[in-house]
Amino acid sequence: MSRLPAPARPPASWRRGTALGVPGLILLGAALSVLSAAFSADTFHDCHYFGPSLRMHIFGWAGLCAGLAAPVLYAVLHRGALRRGWAPALSRASGPALVLLVLGVLPLLFEAFVVWTLYAPDPAGGHDCSGLAYALVGRGPHPAG
């Protein structure tokens, strides 16, 4: 009766890719989405609503793409390790990466919300200097008369 050889541990390059790549993409996606939300002042200028700026679109979509790339990278690395006969479950990099990947669902939902807000209708209702523009600044509308 012949025994199959025990699966080998993945090399250091695979462990670095899993330990740093997956959490790095999750954090990068969250940071880019926060930056997109930080540029929300670009939408109004002199009481005119211009809509989301180009940099809001770039950072919002880049954040969502980075957040979606994290589970894809983990799956590719895990499947590649299994094909090569490595035991990814034995490495110290795979466990924390999987935990961060599960916790990364919350930033992923935030990133999807940021992209959704890029295409939401004008919160002021389409009228210049009304609605949300005054509520954000903390002053009332123009006096009548």
User: Mean pLDDT lowest for which of 23-27, 49-53, 60-64, 140-144?
Assistant: 140-144
Average pLDDT over residues 21-33: 93
What pLDDT does residue 145 have? 46
Structure token digits, residue 4 = 């199959």
φ and ψ at 110, to 5 degrees? -65, -40
CB 70 within 8 A of CB 25: yes
Mean pLDDT for the chain overall: 80
Average pLDDT over residues 24-49: 84
Average pLDDT over residues 77-86: 83
- Residue 117's closest CA among 46, 70, 61? 61
What pLDDT does residue 38 have? 86
Structure token digits, residue 139 = 């002053």
Average pLDDT over residues 22-44: 88
- Residue whose pair of structure tokens reads 């109004």 in the numeric block: 44
CA distance 38 to 108: 17
pTM for this model (two decimals): 0.75
